[in-house]
Amino acid sequence: MAIAKSAVLILLFALVCNANGAPKLPRIAGPDMFKNKNVAKDVLLPGEQIINVMDFGAKPDGRFDCTQAFMDAWQKLCHQTTGPARLLIPEGRFLVSSMYFSGPCTCQTPVTIQVKGYVMATTDISEYENGDWLMFEKHNGLKIIGGGTFDGQGKKSWEYSENCESGADSVCARNPSSLFFSDSSNVVVQGIRTANPKGFHIFVTKCTNVRLRKLKLVAPETSPNTDGIHVSHSDTVIMSRNTIATGDDCISMIQGVKNVFINRLKCGPGHGISIGSLGKYQNEEEVRGIRIQNCSLINTTNGLRVKAWPDRFAGAASDISFSNINMQNVRNPIIIDQEYECYPDCKKKPSLVRIQNVHFQNVKGTTTSPLAVDLRCSKLFGCQGVTVRDIDLKFGDAPTTSRCVNTQPLFAGLLMPPACA
Ligand SMILES: *[C@@H]1O[C@H](CO)[C@@H](O)[C@H](O)[C@H]1NC(C)=O
Ligand SMILES: *[C@@H]1O[C@H](CO)[C@@H](O)[C@H](O)[C@H]1NC(C)=O
């Protein structure tokens, strides 16, 4: 079994390009196939084939290794089927190892995976040397739906988690993400849960037109580096009505992310919504056009955060707006931090990241520290075009304060804390 499995993995690995070494692929762009369609609706198309993992030897007992069965079912769906078809993971508990679900497929798009059951990751971390747990690559049209759960069974690997943020210089071994999407366009992930990932719950990179809706992502507050949704190098990502309770950022967006809309997120516990860290890598692509609306953050360490490394590489983040945000018990509700991991008393050279046009509007609720608005920008560029409007953040009966370093925001409307002096 072990040999058969590694043979399958090697074969699949050979079919796709190495996530690290291979030359960069051109981005798959093109029109948004879900535009103006009701993506919430799932109907079987006329003649749609249902490819059930049970018919390929999967056993729903949570102990039998179903990797081969899943791969055989996927092979049939993706490479031996034309016309509409879906992969069905029915109710039951299915144990599976690291797998590639690589496109393009021969079946009609969107390629659909319907998960009703509870899919569990194997716990031997040495099986994950290709990077992540379930890897979806090179699709144009992919739908993951069905109300089921992906459980990364991460507890054992959390003990070995390296903090890739603090060790900015070192080559850091990231723990496997549960769902990894790369080089794909027109992706919908909807109405599923992920629990206890080894690393991130969901990682999106080099993708366009992605919708992540009605997801429930859960891990203990103490689990290390378990970001909810981590996005890099992607254009047009819409995340709506998600609930995220995890040990790191609920949503983090780093270099090359453009045109993101986050709506009705419930975040907490966790580290809030982060843009950055930026300026970490050489030749970073800019971050532009991030709109975050109607979200609530409860018991999080940070709320709305832009973070950049001092004394490192150039980068840029612009056209970012946060509006209609409710906070409860948030330690740093509004924060721009260009002295990331260097504060206080940072003696390093200033950050080379340009931050422009960042808007905080209608942010209300409670904090667990008096410094509710903390904007610390680079001495070199400052932060241009920052606005802070209608803020009402309370710290019990004590007053809240704001601080502005190397930035002169436009303050307007009702302000609690008051504007920077
Ligand atoms: C956000 O909330 C406001 C006020 O409740 C509402 O008018 C607006 O339509 C909401 N926006 C979205 C995108 O849901
Ligand atoms: C937030 O923390 C408080 C105090 O620890 C706790 O009572 C409450 O249930 C938490 N709320 C959520 C939504 O986690």
pLDDT of 88-141, one tens digit each? Answer: 999 999 999 999 999 999 999 999 999 999 999 999 999 998 799 999 999 999
pLDDT at 17 over 60: no
Which of 239, 263, 292, 324 has most ligand 1 atoms within 8 Å of CB, for mutation?
324
Residue 329 is assigned to a structural domain of this protein = yes
**Contact present, 42 and 31 (Cβ < 8 Å):** no
Are 89 and 132 found together in one domain?
Answer: yes
Smallest-distance ligand from the CA of 263 = 1
Please give the Cα distance from 219 to 293 (Å, whole number): 24
Are 188 and 303 found together in one domain?
Answer: no
Are 243 and 303 found together in one domain?
Answer: no
83 CA distance to ligand 1 middle (Å)? 39
Q: Is the CB of 361 under 6 A from ligand 1?
A: no
* Protein residue closest via CA to atom 7 of ligand 2: 299
Are 241 and 281 found together in one domain?
Answer: no
Burial 119-142 (b: 16+ CB within 10 A, else e): bbbbeebebbebbbbbbbbbbbbb
CATH, residue 294: 2.160.20.10
What residues have CB less than 8 Å from 115, skipping those under 6 apart?
Answer: 89, 144, 145, 146, 147, 148, 149, 150, 192
Are 284 and 382 found together in one domain?
Answer: yes
Please give the Cα distance from 191 to 198 (Å, whole number): 21
Q: Is the CB of 368 under 6 A from ligand 1?
A: no
Are 305 and 177 found together in one domain?
Answer: no
Q: Which whole number is the average pLDDT over 322-343?
A: 96
pLDDT at 1 over 70: no
Are 241 and 182 found together in one domain?
Answer: yes
Please give the Cα distance from 178 to 51 (Å, whole number): 22
331 CA distance to ligand 2 middle (Å)? 13
100 CA distance to ligand 1 middle (Å)? 38
Helix (H, G, I), strand (E, B) or coil at 224: coil
Q: Which whole number is the average pLDDT over 280-301?
A: 97
Phi, psi of 252 (to 5 degrees): -130, 140
Phi, psi of 13 (to 5 degrees): -65, -40
Residue 264 is assigned to a structural domain of this protein = no
Confidence of residue 321 (pLDDT cuts 50, 70, 90): very high
329 CA distance to ligand 2 middle (Å)? 8
Give the pLDDT score at 162. 74
Give the pLDDT score at 36. 86
Q: Which atom of ligand 2 is nearest to the CA of 268?
A: 14
Q: Is the CB of 294 under 6 A from ligand 1?
A: yes
Q: Is the CB of 401 under 6 A from ligand 1?
A: no
Q: Which atom of ligand 2 is nearest to the CA of 328?
A: 1
Residue 374 is assigned to a structural domain of this protein = yes
What residues have CB less than 8 Å from 279, skipping those under 6 apart?
Answer: 308, 309, 312, 313, 314, 315, 351, 352, 353
Smallest-distance ligand from the CA of 368 = 2
State how many domains the chain has: 2
pLDDT of 338-371, one tens digit each? Answer: 999 998 989 999 999 999 999 999 999 999 999 9
Quickly list DSSP for 39-60.
Answer: TT---PPTT-EEEEGGGGT--T
Residue 260 is assigned to a structural domain of this protein = no
Q: Which tokens hold the place of 329?
A: 């018990």
Q: Is the CB of 368 under 6 A from ligand 2?
A: no
CA distances from 163 to 93, 110, 166 (A): 31, 36, 6
pLDDT at 7 over 50: no
Confidence of residue 12 (pLDDT cuts 50, 70, 90): very low
Domain that holds residue 87: 46-160+173-248
Residue 234 is assigned to a structural domain of this protein = yes
What percentage of the chain reaches a pLDDT higher than 70? 91
Q: Which of 166-170, 326-330, 408-412 bottoms out in mean pLDDT, i.e. has the lowest?
A: 166-170
Residue 270 is assigned to a structural domain of this protein = no
pLDDT at 266 over 60: yes
| Burial of 299: CB neighbours in 10 Å, binned 0-12, 13-18, 19+ | middle
325 CA distance to ligand 1 middle (Å)? 11
Q: Which tokens hold the place of 126?
A: 């040495």
Options 139, 201, 230, 271, the catalytic residue: 271
Are 88 and 214 found together in one domain?
Answer: yes
Are 242 and 365 found together in one domain?
Answer: no
* Protein residue closest via CA to atom 1 of ligand 2: 299
Are 403 and 305 found together in one domain?
Answer: yes
Give the pLDDT score at 169. 55
Please give the Cα distance from 360 to 295 (Å, whole number): 13
Are 341 and 291 found together in one domain?
Answer: yes
Cis bond upstream, residue 220 (ω within 30): no
pLDDT at 373 over 50: yes
Beta bridge partners of 194: 150, 217
Confidence of residue 5 (pLDDT cuts 50, 70, 90): very low
pTM: 0.92
Quickly list DSSP for 168-186.
Answer: -SS---PPPPSEEEEEEEE
Q: Is the CB of 153 under 6 A from ligand 1?
A: no
Residue 34 is assigned to a structural domain of this protein = no
Residue 70 is assigned to a structural domain of this protein = yes
Q: H or E stretch including 204?
A: strand 202-213
Q: Is 271 a catalytic residue?
A: yes
Q: Which whole number is the average pLDDT over 149-158?
A: 96
pLDDT of 155-181, one tens digit each? Answer: 999 988 777 666 555 567 789 999 999
Are 385 and 420 found together in one domain?
Answer: yes
**Contact present, 303 and 269 (Cβ < 8 Å):** no
Q: Which tokens hold the place of 180?
A: 């990894």
Q: Is the CB of 266 under 6 A from ligand 2?
A: no
Please give the Cα distance from 81 to 99 (Å, whole number): 20
